[in-house]
Structure 1
Amino acid sequence: MNKTIQLQDLGLRDYKQVWDLQEAAFKETVDLKIRNRREEAQLETPNHFWFVEHPHVYTLGKSGDESNMLLNENQLAAKGATYYKINRGGDITYHGPGQIVGYPILDLENFFTDIHKYLRFLEEAIILTLKEYGLESSRSEGETGVWLDVGTPFARKICAMGVRASRWVTMHGFALNVNVDLGYFDNIIPCGIRGKAVTSLNVELGLAKVDEAEVKQKILKHFRVLFECEFV
């Protein structure tokens, strides 16, 4: 079992470009696993974790409803945003500058074979990170991601999640709002959930800007403990 994870920060990158990179890494790992089974080999499978920031983009998961996108093509272009239908779970979400996006491409057979547990661990890494900033966040039953003030009229989402998995290999991941322009969420029904607000870390802390590099280090610290892994 390989518990080392190759860590990369890709910076600001086009969504489709990174999606293609994910697909290539995902396929490489799946193909290696198929080869191992076919040839009864023991070749070690890699694990990746990529941080990235995307230019304005909306993505719709395979179970999503297109009516949750409230802009037409011309309106999208006017806002400098793009739109993709993709192969993760979940509905529609927004990615943009000031948001920390994390893509773990893991062979879960190196850790544990439980997708539910994997999603809960992703959420827990974010919950523990936010706790370091004095924010009490939690899960909302039936709604993947991380929320504030669940069970009140002021419930608001701070981190969206959506993953794809095949042969225990994962792709896609989480998007934590840190310094993001929340106005872009007004153009969609986020995650297909009506009447729920969206927030970001800087808004909750009353700061003009939060240090994103510091947030990333905190996420990695908690991820390392939860998954009992090492980043290289």
Structure 2
Amino acid sequence: MPPAAASSLTPAAREAGQNRQIRVEKLGLTDYEAAWAYQEQLLAAAVAVKTRNRQAAEAGRLPESTPNVLLLCQHPHVYTLGKSGKPEHLLLDDAGLAAHGATYHRINRGGDITYHGPGQLVGYPILDLDNFFTDIHRYLRVLEEAVILTLADYGLSAGRIPGLTGVWLGFEEAATNPRKICAMGVKCSRWVTMHGLAFNINPDLSYFGHIVPCGITDKAVTSLQQELGRAVPLPEVEEKLLRHLATLLDATLIG
């Protein structure tokens, strides 16, 4: 588990405008492009505060606190390709997308192609890492750890596979059936994050058969429902995930 984020901040730093509150917004089933535009809006607002703070520091004024927001939602069927991804990892043409009621977007996060759809819990943290710790790799590990701890609440042993972002079942070196349960991809601008995680709770896993998930050809995809043999209420998973994120980030959740 990553060390507590609070250890990287001195008391003086805490007094210099750091904001450890995260506003949680539950958007329900939301169009992907609408959620993306909202993330961009929130990121721009946080960066604008940081610009004003730089000007305030030059003038000897105290800084404003930058906002932190966590969006939780589901999406209608959609495939998204990160900036380092390969278009050929989408195995459907336009007609195939239409037949499956799905859309496709190339976006500005890291990573390759992934799927979002109903029954999948998507989390978009728009956080100013200056409020927590300025280490994007550590941030990714914190997101992974929150999912790992959530799965442990259901009696499932999950972990990481070296060189691969995300959370896996059958992650151990000798395991014969590694399968991904949570994909991740983020963007960071002026230490403000966007995009995030896609946690498979009760999705239709057949939609993953139309892509090479995250560009990985030799590993499977799974869900909490498939692993437990029963559907799991998303609000129940949300509550557990939020609790672990708050602890790992030493944050207070509001809203």
The TM-score bracket by the shorter chain reads over 0.9
- 1:54 counterpart residue number: 75
Q: 2: CA distance between counterparts of 1:85 and 1:96?
A: 16
- 1:214 counterpart residue number: 236
SS in 2 for 1:6: strand
Q: 1: CA distance between counterparts of 2:54 and 2:163?
A: 35
The letter for the 1-side match of 2:45 is E
Cα deviation per residue 1:58-94 (whole Å; 9 max; x = unaligned)?
0000000111000001110110000000000000000
SS in 1 for 2:122: strand
Cα deviation per residue 1:78-119 (whole Å; 9 max; x = unaligned)?
100000000000000000000000000000000111111100
Q: Structure 2 matches for 1:60-209, cutoff 5 A?
A: 60-150=81-171, 151=173, 152-207=175-230, 209=231
Query: How much has 1:43 moved relative to structure 2?
Result: 1.0
SS in 2 for 1:2: coil
Q: 2: CA distance between counterparts of 1:119 and 1:34?
A: 25
The letter for the 2-side match of 1:204 is E
The letter for the 2-side match of 1:9 is K
- Unaligned 5+ segments in structure 2 are 1-17
Query: How much has 1:153 moved relative to structure 2?
Result: 2.6
SS in 2 for 1:9: strand
Q: 1: CA distance between counterparts of 2:251 and 2:224?
A: 27
Cα deviation per residue 1:151-173 (whole Å; 9 max; x = unaligned)?
32300000000000011100000
Query: How much has 1:38 moved relative to structure 2?
Result: 2.5
Query: How much has 1:39 moved relative to structure 2?
Result: 3.1
Q: 2: CA distance between counterparts of 1:114 and 1:210?
A: 33
The letter for the 2-side match of 1:175 is A
Q: 1: CA distance between counterparts of 2:64 and 2:229?
A: 49
The letter for the 2-side match of 1:211 is P
Query: How much has 1:211 moved relative to structure 2?
Result: 1.4
Q: Does 1:19 align with 2:36?
A: yes
SS in 2 for 1:112: coil
Q: 1: CA distance between counterparts of 2:83 and 2:52?
A: 28
SS in 2 for 1:87: coil
- 1:225 counterpart residue number: 247
The letter for the 2-side match of 1:4 is Q
SS in 2 for 1:46: coil
SS in 1 for 2:71: strand
- Unaligned 5+ segments in structure 1 are none
Q: 2: CA distance between counterparts of 1:102 and 1:35?
A: 28
Give the fraction of aligned pairs with identical amino acids, expressed as a percent.
57
Q: 2: CA distance between counterparts of 1:106 and 1:166?
A: 10
